[in-house]
Structure 1
Amino acid sequence: MESPFKPDILRGKVALLTGGGSGIGFELSTQFGKHGASIAIMGRRKNVIHDAVSVLQSLGIPAVGFEGDVRKPEDARRVVEATVEKFGKLDILVNAAAGNFLVPAEDLSPNGFKTVMDIDSVGTFTMCHQALKYLKKGGPGKDSSTGGFILNISATLHYTASWYQIHVSAAKAAVDALTRNLALEWGTDHDIRVNGIAPGPIGDTTGMSKLLPKEINDGGYETMPLYKVGEKWDIAMAAIYLASVAGYKRNDPHC
């Protein structure tokens, strides 16, 4: 599919994406790179990161990968600093790392609940916190006119209720809450734009193959909008739009 955006709309930007080596995260890495950004991806699986970087570089995209766990502040700090050392600055942080599995609430251990909360919500905050000094207006490699951009990938599970997904629903609700609060605080104090995207069912992802009912995966889309699932490309185009929007100005009548 052809992008509706100019090929160089993110030229000169540096983006760090957690979970950027697979699924929706890799599509974001690819499309950000195709639109001009330099890409750093972070993930726990060394082989996945290596393969993803190889693909990006084969497309002519400046890319580097770092093995790391978003739950560990020392990993988050190391990867953020390594990204800045490699590319000279950090403009965009995308938090796409996530954990998920199906389990009835009565069979879910507190440790299993905590694991997903730590990856999705605590990990998202940890990455934001470590990236703050580089994303804020006037931070290293930036001028004093505007700050950077944070995009948090959420979900729609917690908007109503979902079978066997209480841990993920709680984690994504927390992601939505921290997105709104950081948008308020860091937008006001540091001119950092913070947005979230909440994908529903997206084709050709682990979520589709393992977490949705068989009838949906077999093509039973009668209850879904447009009678189809979304595509990773759809999420990437929304992300590029948000990443490319100029910084908002107070008292701007168009905001």
Structure 2
Amino acid sequence: MADPTDLLSPTLLSGKTAFVTGGGSGINLGIAATFARLGAAVAICGRSQERLDGAAEKLRALGAKVCAVAADVRDPAAVTDAFARSADELGPASVVVSGAAGNFVAPAEKISPNGFRTVVDIDLLGSWHTASAAFQQLRETRGTLLFISAAQASVPFAYQAHVGAAKAGVDHLMRNLALEWSRYGIRCNSIAPGPIADTEGMRRLEQAADKDTWLKMIPLGRYGAAEEIGVMASVLASPLGGFVTGAHIVVDGGQGLMGSSTFNDAVAATLNASPR
């Protein structure tokens, strides 16, 4: 598949600073790489400085100026400090991607209070901490705030009660902020990726069932690429998406049209549980 980034102007995001949480790997690193290729300076944060340093080298190889700072999105002070350092090194953020997330599969009755709280803390509270820390910079730049959502926000998936609750909260937070912060020129949207190749999430799922099983969930018959999420994020972050706010954009090859039964059955088999 041709890289869709090649269809966009390499100067589309020139002069912008992008800040990506969870940017050390996976989809979020793919988004950061797309931003870098389109001319943005890029800040990435995550819990592992070692992982961030490796990601930063990849982004610099694309020609971007990069700031990589370790911060756990569950810690609002750490997130605030990361934004301050990014602003000092790269200038105020005009694009912020709240992508840090946590997940595991478990029957609802076996999810501990701590396990449920951990996912909510990372996904939902982490999104709030990111948005709150980013506000003043985004107000200054009249920028864009993007949240990485998931199919679980809209469709019930078995063994994902914690994730569904957290991501549904993320989407509603996005809509509230789109409503309230539009007066500052800040646009807020969310992207719900489908199955994306070469990510930790898909590698874990392929331990539960083979690739052909997961492809049955996707009407387009293939996994997505991280660059395809990056391109959508770039469009929303640029003047091309200038009249889009409060939108939940699904980029999943049609997976959402198929429901969650394939996922439920495949994961149930690995857990020796009933999917319903």
Same fold (TM over 0.5): yes
Q: Does 1:148 align with 2:148?
A: no
Supply the distance in 1 between the matched residues of 2:76 and 2:91 (Cα, whole angstroms).
21
Q: Does 1:14 align with 2:17?
A: yes
Supply the distance in 2 between the matched residues of 1:211 and 1:94 (Cα, whole angstroms).
25
Supply the distance in 2 between the matched residues of 1:205 and 1:185 (Cα, whole angstroms).
34
Higher fraction of helix: 2
Note the alpha carbon deviations across 1:124-179, whole angstroms, 9 max, x for none: 0111111111111xx2xx4xxxx110010000023221121111111100110001
1:203 corresponds in structure 2 to 197
Q: 1:216 to 1:243 in 2, by over 3 A?
A: farther
In structure 1, give the amino acid aligned to 2:197.
G
Q: CA deviation at 1:220?
A: 5.1
Q: CA deviation at 1:98?
A: 0.3
Q: Does 1:85 align with 2:88?
A: yes
What's the RMSD between the two structures over aligned residues? 1.7
Supply the distance in 2 between the matched residues of 1:48 and 1:213 (Cα, whole angstroms).
24
Q: Does the CA contact (< 8 Å) of 1:18 and 1:94 recur in 2?
A: yes
In structure 2, give the amino acid aligned to 1:200.
G
Q: Match of 1:36, SS?
A: coil
Supply the distance in 1 between the matched residues of 2:206 and 2:156 (Cα, whole angstroms).
14
What are the within-5 Å matches in structure 2 for residues 210-229 of structure 1?
A: 210-211=204-205, 214-218=208-212, 221-229=215-223
Picking from 158, 166, 178, the partner of 1:163 is: 158
Unpaired runs of 5+ residues, structure 2, are: 245-276
Picking from 179, 202, 226, the partner of 2:174 is: 179
1:253 corresponds in structure 2 to none
Deviates more, 1:83-92 or 1:24-33: 83-92
Q: Does the CA contact (< 8 Å) of 2:17 and 2:94 recur in 1?
A: yes
1:242 corresponds in structure 2 to 236
2:41 corresponds in structure 1 to 38
Supply the distance in 2 between the matched residues of 1:88 and 1:152 (Cα, whole angstroms).
21
Q: Match of 2:42, SS?
A: strand
Identity over aligned residues, as a percent?
A: 40
Q: CA deviation at 1:218?
A: 4.2
Under a length normalisation based on structure 2, what TM-score does the superposition of the two structures give?
A: 0.83
Q: Match of 1:201, SS?
A: coil
Under a length normalisation based on structure 1, what TM-score does the superposition of the two structures give?
A: 0.89
Supply the distance in 2 between the matched residues of 1:212 and 1:125 (Cα, whole angstroms).
32
Q: Does the CA contact (< 8 Å) of 2:56 and 2:66 recur in 1?
A: yes
Supply the distance in 2 between the matched residues of 1:22 and 1:200 (Cα, whole angstroms).
17
Supply the distance in 1 between the matched residues of 2:243 and 2:235 (Cα, whole angstroms).
14
